[in-house]
Amino acid sequence: MKSYRFWYHYNKPLSKRMGRPTMTVHFKDSCINGHKIICHPSTETHERKAQPRMVVRGFAKTVTWVTEKEPRTKAGQGTYTLVIK
């Protein structure tokens, strides 16, 4: 299976709207939001010229979105964990 570039960062505007810290993973031309990240491949920091200025990036084969069973927020939303392999 081929590896693709991924990168992730803290999403401040979305975190303010949701009332909790939120991370965004960019993988294969899609943006995936989550509250926790489990990252198996090795990563490096990278400084970009556009926002977000500092990101963490690497190469991965898959990004899986896992939903916890019990909601943890007042709005009834669960915590979403992204597993990067």
> Does residue 59 contact residue 15 with C-beta atoms inside 8 Å?
no
pLDDT at 71: 54
- On the question of a cis peptide bond just before residue 71, with omega within 30 degrees of 0, the verdict is no
CA dist 14 and 27 (Å) reads: 18
pLDDT at 17 over 80: yes
Q: What is the pLDDT of residues 46-78, one digit of tens each?
A: 999 999 999 999 999 999 988 766 555 554 456
pLDDT at 62: 94
CA dist 74 and 14 (Å) reads: 17
- Name the band, by pLDDT with cuts 50, 70 and 90, for residue 35: confident
Q: Write out the residue range of the structural domain in which residue 75 sits.
A: 4-84
* Whole-structure pTM value: 0.84
Total residue length of the chain: 85
Give the residue among 24, 18, 2, 9 at the shortest CA–CA distance from 54: 9
Helix H or strand E segment including 16? helix 12-18
Q: How many domains, the chain?
A: 1
